[in-house]
Chains A and B, each alone.
Chain A
Amino acid sequence: MRVVVADDSVLLREGVVRLLEESGFDVVAQAGDADDLLRKVNAHKPDVAVVDIRMPPTNTDDGLRAALQIRATHPDTGVLVLSQYVEEGYALELVGDAAGGVGYLLKDRVADVERFVDSVKRVGEGGSALDPEVVAQLVGRARREDPLAELTPREREVLELMAEGRSNQAIAEQLVITERAVEKHVTSIFGKLDLAPAPEDHRRVLAVLTFLRA
Chain B
Amino acid sequence: MTSLRRALWALAAAGFVFGLAVVALIVTSDTPEYPAAWAAGGLAVGWSFIGVGLFAWGRRPDNRVGMLMTATGFAWLVAGCGLSDLPLVFTLGQGVGTLFFAVAVHLLLAFPSGQLESRADRCIVTGAYIVTAVAGLALWLFSDPRSLGCDDCPDNVLLVYDNETLVNAISTVINLIGAALITGVVVVLIRRWRRATPSQRRFLVPVYAAGIAVGIMLIATVALQVGGLDDPVLEAAWIAAMVPLGLVPYVFLGTLIRARMIQSRAVSELVARLSGTPRPGELRDALASALGDESLELAYWVPEQDRFVDAQGRPVELPEQGTGRAVTKVRREGSYVAAIVHDPVLDEQHGHVEAVCSAASLALENERLEAELRAKVEELRESRQRMLRVGLEERRRLERDLHDGAQQRLVSMALSMRLARARLRDQPEAAERLLDGASEELDAALDELRELARGIHPAVLSDRGLDTALEALAHRTPLPVDLESTPGRRLPEAVELAAYFVVSEALTNVVKYADATHATVNVASENGRVVVQVADDGVGGADPERGTGLRGLADRLAVLEGRLEIDSPPGRGTTVTARIPCG
Asked whether A84 and B459 contact (CB < 8 A) given A89-B472, A108-B443, A108-B446, the answer is: yes
Contacting pair B468 A89 (CB below 8 A): yes
Ranked nearest first, the 8 interchain pairs of A and B with the lowest CB-CB distance are A61-B463, A60-B463, A108-B446, A142-B480, A142-B479, A144-B480, A87-B460, A141-B475
Contacting pair B478 A142 (CB below 8 A): yes
Tell me if B439 is interfacial: C-beta within 8 Å of chain A: yes
CB nearest neighbor in A for B478: A142
Q: Please encode chain A, from 79 to 96, with 1 for each CB lying within 8 Å of some chain B CB and 0 for all others.
A: 000001111111000000
Q: Given the complex, which residues of B lie within 8 Å of A89, measured CB to CB?
A: 460, 464, 468, 471-472
12 contacting pairs across A/B (C-beta < 8 A)? A60-B459, A61-B463, A85-B450, A85-B459, A86-B450, A89-B460, A108-B446, A137-B475, A137-B476, A140-B478, A141-B475, A144-B480
Looking at chain A's contact residues, the main secondary structure is: loop
Q: Please encode chain B, from 480 to 504, with 1 for each CB lying within 8 Å of some chain A CB and 0 for all others.
A: 1100000000000000000000000
Complex CA distance for A87 and B464, rounded to whole angstroms: 11
Chain A positions near chain B (C-beta within 8 angstroms): 54, 60-61, 84-90, 108, 111-112, 137-138, 140-144
Contacting pair A90 B460 (CB below 8 A): yes
CB distance from A208 to the nearest CB of B (A): 16
**B427-483: which have CB < 8 Å to A?**
439, 442-443, 446, 450, 453-454, 459-460, 462-464, 468, 471-472, 475-481
CB distance from A210 to the nearest CB of B (A): 16
CB nearest neighbor in B for A54: B459
CB nearest neighbor in A for B476: A137
CB nearest neighbor in A for B517: A144
Q: Given the complex, which residues of B lie within 8 Å of A87, measured CB to CB?
A: 459-460, 472
10 extra interchain contacts, Cβ-Cβ under 8 A, other than A85-B459, A87-B472, A144-B480? A54-B459, A61-B464, A85-B450, A85-B453, A86-B450, A89-B471, A112-B439, A137-B476, A142-B478, A143-B480
Q: Given the complex, which residues of A lie within 8 Å of B376, measured CB to CB?
A: none
Number of residue pairs across A and B with beta carbons under 8 Å? 46
Residue from B439, B453, B518 in contact with A111 in the complex, judged by beta carbons closer than 8 Å = B439
Complex CA distance for A144 and B482, rounded to whole angstroms: 10
Complex CA distance for A34 and B145, rounded to whole angstroms: 122
Complex CA distance for A85 and B446, rounded to whole angstroms: 10
* B contacts with A, residue count (CB < 8 A): 23
CB nearest neighbor in A for B458: A85
Asked whether A60 and B462 contact (CB < 8 A) given A88-B475, A108-B443, A141-B475, the answer is: yes
CB distance from A130 to the nearest CB of B (A): 15
Complex CA distance for A111 and B435, rounded to whole angstroms: 12
Q: Given the complex, which residues of B lie within 8 Å of A85, measured CB to CB?
A: 450, 453-454, 459-460
CB distance from B443 to the nearest CB of A (A): 7
Contacting pair A88 B472 (CB below 8 A): yes
CB distance from A143 to the nearest CB of B (A): 6
Q: Given the complex, which residues of A lie within 8 Å of B477, measured CB to CB?
A: 142
CB nearest neighbor in A for B472: A89
Q: Given the complex, which residues of B lie within 8 Å of A143, measured CB to CB?
A: 480
Q: Given the complex, which residues of A lie within 8 Å of B475, measured CB to CB?
A: 88, 137-138, 141
Q: Given the complex, which residues of B lie within 8 Å of A84, measured CB to CB?
A: 450, 453, 459
Q: Given the complex, which residues of A lie within 8 Å of B443, measured CB to CB?
A: 108, 111
Q: Given the complex, which residues of A lie within 8 Å of B439, measured CB to CB?
A: 111-112
Q: Given the complex, which residues of B lie within 8 Å of A111, measured CB to CB?
A: 439, 442-443
CB distance from B21 to the nearest CB of A (A): 87
Q: Given the complex, which residues of A lie within 8 Å of B476, measured CB to CB?
A: 137
Q: Given the complex, which residues of B lie within 8 Å of A90, measured CB to CB?
A: 460
Complex CA distance for A108 and B518, rounded to whole angstroms: 34
Q: Please encode chain B, from 246 to 263, with 1 for each CB lying within 8 Å of some chain A CB and 0 for all others.
A: 000000000000000000
> Among A54, A60, A89, which residue has the most Cβ atoms of chain B within 10 A?
A89
Complex CA distance for A112 and B460, rounded to whole angstroms: 26
Q: Given the complex, which residues of A lie within 8 Å of B462, measured CB to CB?
A: 60
> Among A60, A85, A90, A111, which residue has the most Cβ atoms of chain B within 10 A?
A85
Q: Given the complex, which residues of B lie within 8 Å of A54, measured CB to CB?
A: 459
CB nearest neighbor in B for A141: B475
Complex CA distance for A212 and B472, rounded to whole angstroms: 14
Complex CA distance for A61 and B459, rounded to whole angstroms: 9
Complex CA distance for A85 and B480, rounded to whole angstroms: 23
Complex CA distance for A114 and B244, rounded to whole angstroms: 116
CB distance from A187 to the nearest CB of B (A): 28
Complex CA distance for A90 and B472, rounded to whole angstroms: 10
CB distance from B490 to the nearest CB of A (A): 12
Complex CA distance for A90 and B468, rounded to whole angstroms: 9
CB nearest neighbor in A for B467: A89
Complex CA distance for A111 and B436, rounded to whole angstroms: 12
Complex CA distance for A112 and B421, rounded to whole angstroms: 20
CB distance from A35 to the nearest CB of B (A): 18
Complex CA distance for A142 and B454, rounded to whole angstroms: 20
CB nearest neighbor in A for B519: A142
Q: Given the complex, which residues of B lie within 8 Å of A88, measured CB to CB?
A: 472, 475
CB distance from A144 to the nearest CB of B (A): 5
Complex CA distance for A142 and B480, rounded to whole angstroms: 5
Complex CA distance for A86 and B459, rounded to whole angstroms: 10
CB nearest neighbor in B for A144: B480
Q: Please encode chain B, from 203 to 228, with 1 for each CB lying within 8 Å of some chain A CB and 0 for all others.
A: 00000000000000000000000000
Complex CA distance for A110 and B480, rounded to whole angstroms: 33
CB distance from A189 to the nearest CB of B (A): 21
Complex CA distance for A143 and B459, rounded to whole angstroms: 25
CB nearest neighbor in A for B459: A85
Q: Given the complex, which residues of A lie within 8 Å of B460, measured CB to CB?
A: 85, 87, 89-90
**B291-318: which have CB < 8 Å to A?**
none
Q: Given the complex, which residues of A lie within 8 Å of B453, measured CB to CB?
A: 84-85
Complex CA distance for A111 and B438, rounded to whole angstroms: 12
**B168-219: which have CB < 8 Å to A?**
none
CB nearest neighbor in B for A87: B460
Complex CA distance for A129 and B442, rounded to whole angstroms: 22
Q: Given the complex, which residues of A lie within 8 Å of B471, measured CB to CB?
A: 89
Complex CA distance for A143 and B518, rounded to whole angstroms: 9
CB distance from A147 to the nearest CB of B (A): 14
Complex CA distance for A90 and B476, rounded to whole angstroms: 14
Complex CA distance for A90 and B459, rounded to whole angstroms: 12
